Structure 1
């Protein structure tokens, strides 16, 4: 019996995901630098003020082009938690980057936290997602990420 054909992955989404990882690393570095000179709250306020100005300019541009009228409807209440979690992420990142964890340890633990939370969201159907039973592959992925994080944090400062 033949299994159904699995569509071949396209290169562009992989490129976007890889680029977003690079941008995330730059963001963590910039926020860490801001946190070093002005503190973690200054880093968070600066990052979010910049994002607010960019969002206002983008919305103004959309309305000027006549496309802003499509921005209607109400977001679910939980969608507004993104601002809270984003602010806390910048504060925690700015603090952790300037600790013995440094940039690589901070990013490794951040990745482990993202994967663990996404697996929990899949398992319990959080945020309107379909519930999904976790597989051994999911557990192995999380275990490898945790092991890699531990190697970076515990042995990353060893010089050859």
Structure 2
């Protein structure tokens, strides 16, 4: 489609995602992300928080893609996230008869923001870097190693000035 507006929002979940299913069986996870930017005040020489913006988000399962269920199972209140989504504007009428318009995000992709937090323990453990031995060195005829492919006698490899650009 044309003319969609996509944004990337960085913030924190204000509550646990709410998972529900439509009558047709489609899964959707609803949640809110609070995002507030900061600016540097040169007069006071301090960072100042700006007012928070709350983004209502909806993530849908699509066929075999279980985005909504993954969000509901993998994220919780307070998690720092980065959301890539399409802005959708929706109009509705309140019970009092007032017309309202809201912007919501239809989530395309989401992930935990690891800038200020550590990954969860079940995300895997980091092992020590390999020791420098014969097993961790590239083979002598590896054209991608820094020494180039000396066995062909043409000096190959990227470090020999043979890059195509």
Choose 1 or 2 for highest CA Rg: 2
Normalising by the smaller structure, the TM-score range is under 0.3
Is the strand fraction higher in 1 or 2?
A: 2
The TM-score normalised by the length of structure 1 is: 0.20
Q: TM-score, normalised by structure 2?
A: 0.20
Higher relative contact order (CA 8 A, sep 6+): 1
